[in-house]
Amino acid sequence: MQNVTVVDHPLITHKLTHLRKIETSSREFRELVKELSSLMAWEVTKNFPLKDIDIETPICQTTQKVLAEKDVVIVPILRAGLGMVEGFTNIIPKAKIGHIGLYRDPETLQAVEYYKKLPSDIAEREAIIVDPMLATGVSVIHTIRLLKEANCKNIKVVHILACPEGIKAVTTAYPEIPIFCAAIDDHLNEHSYIVPGLGDAGDRLFGTK
Ligand code: URA
């Protein structure tokens, strides 16, 4: 599928199955989301550039590679996206964090923004938008637009679960934006929940059901 990477790994599949289970507690759910995010961060950062540096080992002088400075901003979509931040900052500790708060107007079904705080140098950073669920795509499309308006040129999107409807919406609006997810489920139901899914990711993360 165009620009969509399903991060396929037995550890990810195993953790995702436990995440889906109704009996998984909020504490376990938070831990699983963090671990899944770190595992996915490996794939998302796979193309980060390296540069040569000269070092000395106990044996000799040598030229080896380290990460070239790459400035990253992680952008969680509030509130469920918060659950993915620590998993990413464990892998990219120097990343800045920008926050976007959105809710869906029940009448118009459009995203309404209630909070936005992005680093002032966002135009120079690679942005990684995180939100566990790609359902209708309304929130992530809105967030991509905000980042583009802030002159962000390099944007990736990371979800734990996606569905065909959400993928179609985002890839139609922004075909150039890479999407990463751990699985693509069957469909969205009439309440815009992913099926089989895992329920409401925000409620499960924060125990607010
Ligand atoms: N958001 C969720 O938290 N769960 C879904 O299934 C869809 C959107």
Query: What is the complex's ipTM, to 2 decimals?
Result: 0.96
| Ligand 1 pocket, residue 193 CB under 6 Å | yes
Task: Locate 81 and state its tokens.
Answer: 């996206």
For every one of its 209 residues, what pLDDT tens digit does the chain have, with 9 covering 90 and above?
Answer: 679 999 999 999 999 999 999 999 999 999 999 999 999 999 999 999 999 999 999 999 999 999 888 899 999 999 999 999 999 999 999 999 999 999 888 788 788 999 999 999 999 999 999 999 999 999 999 999 999 999 999 999 999 999 999 999 999 999 999 999 999 999 999 999 999 999 999 999 999 97
Q: Which of 26, 130, 198 to mutate to test the pocket of ligand 1 (most atoms within 8 A of CB)?
A: 198
Contact indicator for 155, 183 with CB cutoff of 8 Å: no
pLDDT of residue 70: 82
Contact indicator for 91, 45 with CB cutoff of 8 Å: yes
pLDDT of residue 105: 82
Closest approach atom of ligand 1 to CA 204: 3
Give CA angle at 206 (11, 42), nearest 5°.
Answer: 30
One-letter amino acid of 4: V
Closest approach atom of ligand 1 to CA 201: 3
Neighbouring CB atoms inside 10 A of 209's CB total: 9
Tokens 């193309």 correspond to: 47
Active site residue 104: yes
Nearest to 143 by CA among 44, 72, 77: 77
Active site residue 108: yes
Nearest to 80 by CA among 107, 100, 108, 106: 100
Task: Locate 204 and state its tokens.
Answer: 């499960």
For 52-92, give the DSSP string: EEEEE-SS-EEEEEEEPP--EEEEEEETTTHHHHHHHHHHS
Catalytic-labelled residue, pool 30, 71, 104, 171: 104
- Residue 104: C-alpha distances to residues 77, 136, 145, 148 (Å): 12, 10, 16, 21
Task: Locate 57 and state its tokens.
Answer: 């080992």
* C-alpha 193 to ligand 1 mean position (Å): 5
| Ligand 1 pocket, residue 36 CB under 6 Å | no
Residue 79: cis peptide before it, omega within 30 degrees of 0? yes
pLDDT of residue 46: 93
Active site residue 185: no
User: Hey, which residues does 99 pair with through a beta bridge?
Assistant: 117
Nearest to 71 by CA among 95, 53, 55, 93: 95
* C-alpha 199 to ligand 1 mean position (Å): 6
Q: Whose CA is nearest to atom 5 of ligand 1?
A: 193
